[in-house]
A and B are shown apart, each in its own frame.
Chain A
Amino acid sequence: MQPETQNFRRAAAAAAKDEALQTALDGLATGFVARRADAVANCPEFEALREQGRHIRQATFQALDAHLLAFERAAKESGSTLHWAETAGDACRIIEEICTAASAKVIAKGKSMVSEEVGLNDHLHAAGFQVFETDLGEYLIQMRGETPSHIIAPAIHLNETQARDSFLAYHHNLDPQRPLNTPEDIVGEARQVLRQTFLTADVGITGANFLIAETGSAVVVTNEGNGDLCATLPKVHIIIAAIDKIVPTLAETSVLLQLLARSATGQTMTAYTSLFTGPKQPDDLDGPDACHIVIVDNGRSELLASDAREVLSCIRCGACLNHCPVYSNVGGHAYGWVYPGPIGAALNPGLLGIDQARDLPLASTLCGRCEDVCPVKIPLPKLLRQWRAADFAQQHTSLYKFAISLWVWLARHPNLYAVWAKAVARFLHRSKGAHRALPFVGGWTQHRDFPSSQGKTFQHQWRERNRRETP
């Protein structure tokens, strides 16, 4: 997916005026946020689980190489073929080769954020394969040529009417008079159409929520069961997952799974949690003949070495998006790339370079709700501040940098600071009323008046008070 992260300001302004989007986003508070709160209230050990989750992720990264090797060994023992992809291009090329070798025409695909990140669908389409997303939300946005706007609810920006219109337009070979009045009708139609896809697909591609080093398994979590059909019916199953998905053991995976569903949708457990380990075994009645696992780096090993390592702990639950005042007002598309919301603002600069995504860490009030709800306690505000500092260090010439440096210099020279503050206080003084416009702060005064100063600095007033009070 081509990043449009540099467009954030324009896209966010447009999103704030998009009525359909705003109505859709209004549903976040009553939906995800309320359901998560319920789930947490009903789970007395939730805080302890979070602490364990954070610990598991950090400890894993301290020996990630050993865990990757253990995963490789176990996965090979169970008959999977492993592939390593350094870049997005490598991942796409490897998967194209597997599909070509399988003489594939139709590919059924489960939801996978890393496949969006590497641009897999476009690549496979260009190579002549028919790729069908099978998660309903993904299917819907695929019809519309859009990208996901939320990590776990990719079509959250769309309402029922938009979904119906898309189905009518996209399934043009079906009877235009068919009843499609309710969400049940729409889901029923998708079930019918996609069932054919599952039955005819030569290859199934899924992501993985976790890769378990102990057993060489990929964990796929869905509510629809589409991931299970992708992994079971086609003769080849391809799993694409990034290096940060590794969890050492089954026991630790169980801790993360308990955090994931509650944080994501407020369910105790997602409807289907499946562990896939290798291809069909000799006497099994179904399952793929081959299982390929493509392990993607695409910049993560560099992040692991950086002071932003904690961002890799993310288990993609989406809670930080749902609770973010910025995301809830601008939606996911404004962020311009695969990962929106606080996690996007903290991760995208690491994957794309801060120069490509400098507005994202700025799009935060640092209110801290994201960190409060993160199931693995990622210090997102701290990471955003780090990216702001990194960005500042990179901007060698800008007026912004000059102004901040001047401020720092002034703050270090108290006498000069006092003179400057006095001049500003006087300049902002009005005997009555407020300022309707001021130089340099047009962004503020465009929407509201700037209060007038009463003419004296704080230090000045403090001195006066002390003089009055000392006899």
Chain B
Amino acid sequence: MSRTAILARVTAACRDGKEHNSVPSAPLNVLQKTPSELYALFVQCLRNNGTAVATVTDPAAIPAQVAAWLNQPQAEHHSVRIAPEPILQTLNWQAAPTLKPKYGLCETGDRVGISRAVAGIADCGALVLAASPEQPTSLAFLPDVLFLAVDQRDIVANLTQAMTDIPHNTEGGRRMPRAVNIITSASRTADIGGKIIHGAHGPHTLGVILY
């Protein structure tokens, strides 16, 4: 049995008689910041990463913001694929006349995807997506343009905090989501002659709406 043989060799090798170092558990760079400082840092890092950012005072304004972005440079009709997610689904998308909303799984040909991030990471301008019945993973990767809504109260200081916040097996029996995607920019590649090009496989444009 490969398993037994590998584990036996590993045991023989790693029990070297030395005291086991305890792993430092305190995460580094713990930022002591107020919510408004976190917000400011998050917005600044998003912009540094080339992400479009807008803040709305009420989630009800999200459709209008999406339409405003999509209507640059000129007004056009867009069908948008929206994650079947309570907050997004209850919005009045019809209020934005150029948008044609579709819910559920992404299909071939869907150009615009809209989903909600469960957290924003202030010190690197990243968004955390967690797969669930309301959040299909493919919706964040198949469209050309991706808009993510994120609640300002869900901004955390750093990656360590974001990762330890993910519900996982040891915490009250909650299962880790099948996929957790931490997204820091649009899809990019530098594999053709070293130049950075967006839209390699995933979206070429990323926009974040804070509410």
Q: Are B20's CB and A272's CB within 8 A?
A: no
Question: Distance (Å) between the CB of A155 and the closest chain B CB?
Answer: 5
Answer whether residue A214 sits at the interface, using C-beta atoms and an 8 A cutoff. yes
Q: Are A275's CB and B179's CB within 8 A?
A: yes
B89 / chain A contacts, CB cutoff of 8 Å: none
The chain B residue with its CB closest to the CB of A163 is B192
Docked pose: A224 CA to B160 CA in angstroms: 23
Among the 9-residue stretches B3-11, B52-60, B66-74, the one with 4 or more Cβ atoms under 8 Å from chain A is B3-11
Among the 9-residue stretches B90-98, B147-155, B161-169, the one with 4 or more Cβ atoms under 8 Å from chain A is B161-169
Q: Are B28's CB and A232's CB within 8 A?
A: no
Answer whether residue A136 sits at the interface, using C-beta atoms and an 8 A cutoff. yes
Answer whether residue A58 sits at the interface, using C-beta atoms and an 8 A cutoff. yes
Docked pose: A64 CA to B22 CA in angstroms: 13
Docked pose: A159 CA to B191 CA in angstroms: 9
The chain B residue with its CB closest to the CB of A267 is B184
Answer whether residue A353 sits at the interface, using C-beta atoms and an 8 A cutoff. no
Partner of B23, one of A155, A188, A252, A302: A252
Q: Are B141's CB and A258's CB within 8 A?
A: no
Partner of B159, one of A86, A188, A258: A258
The chain A residue with its CB closest to the CB of B23 is A59
The chain A residue with its CB closest to the CB of B185 is A271
Q: Are A49's CB and B105's CB within 8 A?
A: no
Docked pose: A186 CA to B192 CA in angstroms: 8
Count class of interface residues, chain B: 35 or more
Docked pose: A48 CA to B105 CA in angstroms: 43
Q: Are A271's CB and B183's CB within 8 A?
A: yes
Question: Distance (Å) between the CB of A471 and the closest chain B CB?
Answer: 60
Q: Are A302's CB and B105's CB within 8 A?
A: no
Q: Are A287's CB and B179's CB within 8 A?
A: yes
Answer whether residue A250 sits at the interface, using C-beta atoms and an 8 A cutoff. yes
Docked pose: A225 CA to B182 CA in angstroms: 11
Q: Are A58's CB and B21's CB within 8 A?
A: yes
Question: Distance (Å) between the CB of B72 and the closest chain A CB?
Answer: 20
A191 / chain B contacts, CB cutoff of 8 Å: 199-201
Question: Distance (Å) between the CB of A408 and the closest chain B CB?
Answer: 31
Q: Are B179's CB and A276's CB within 8 A?
A: yes
B175 / chain A contacts, CB cutoff of 8 Å: 78, 277, 281
Q: Are A160's CB and B193's CB within 8 A?
A: yes
Q: Are B187's CB and A159's CB within 8 A?
A: no
Docked pose: A279 CA to B178 CA in angstroms: 6
Q: Are B181's CB and A228's CB within 8 A?
A: yes
Q: Are B202's CB and A136's CB within 8 A?
A: no
Q: Are A215's CB and B194's CB within 8 A?
A: no
Answer whether residue B25 sits at the interface, using C-beta atoms and an 8 A cutoff. yes
Docked pose: A283 CA to B175 CA in angstroms: 13
Docked pose: A251 CA to B25 CA in angstroms: 7
The chain A residue with its CB closest to the CB of B187 is A225
Partner of B6, one of A231, A251, A297: A297
Q: Are B5's CB and A86's CB within 8 A?
A: yes
Docked pose: A135 CA to B142 CA in angstroms: 16
Docked pose: A61 CA to B183 CA in angstroms: 30
Q: Are B108's CB and A275's CB within 8 A?
A: no
Q: Are B138's CB and A232's CB within 8 A?
A: yes
The chain A residue with its CB closest to the CB of B197 is A187
Q: Are A253's CB and B202's CB within 8 A?
A: no
Q: Are A187's CB and B27's CB within 8 A?
A: no
Question: Distance (Å) between the CB of A57 and the closest chain B CB?
Answer: 10
A62 / chain B contacts, CB cutoff of 8 Å: 14, 16, 18, 20-21
Q: In the complex, given contacts A31-B194, A229-B141, A302-B9, what are 14 additional A-B residue pairs having Cβ atoms less than 8 angstroms apart?
A: A52-B28, A55-B24, A62-B18, A63-B20, A85-B2, A183-B195, A214-B168, A224-B188, A225-B201, A232-B137, A243-B10, A250-B164, A252-B23, A297-B9
Which residues of A come within 8 Å of B, CB atoms?
27, 31, 45, 48-49, 52, 55-56, 58-65, 68-69, 74, 77-78, 84-86, 90, 134-137, 140, 153-156, 158-160, 163, 183-184, 186-188, 190-191, 194-195, 198-199, 214-217, 223-226, 228-229, 231-233, 243, 248-255, 257-258, 265, 267-281, 283-287, 295, 297, 301-302, 304-305, 309
Listed by A's residue number, 10 A-B pairs whose Cβ atoms lie within 8 Å are A78-B176, A183-B193, A223-B188, A224-B202, A225-B201, A228-B181, A269-B182, A271-B184, A275-B166, A287-B179
The 8 closest A-B pairs by CB, nearest first: A225-B202, A160-B193, A305-B13, A301-B9, A224-B200, A137-B191, A283-B133, A304-B13
